[in-house]
Amino acid sequence: MFLKHLPTSGLVEVLDFNEVFDPFAASIRARSQAGEDTMDEDLYPKAELVFPSGEPLPLCWRDSKYREHIAA
């Protein structure tokens, strides 16, 4: 899975899908995609990641209290 890193506008390759779906994980391990070179893994804050289309990640993936936002 690839996500877009907003500060750099580059794509990052997600290394552990469970971190993406876990609302308690504030960051995920991923590799920056720069051409054909394989980059070292790094931590990326979920707040700085969106889908390649620009759509934000679902709230239930980013916020452990997402149900409180829905009820409000």
pLDDT of 63: 87
Domains in the chain, number? 1
Residue 22 domain boundaries: 2-71
pLDDT at residue 42 greater than cutoff 90? yes
Query: Could you write out the three-class secondary structure of the chain?
Result: CEEEECCCCEEEEECCHHHHHCCCCCEEEEEEEECCEEEEEEEEEHHHEECCCCCECCHHHHCCCHHHHHHC
Mean of the per-residue pLDDT values of the chain: 90
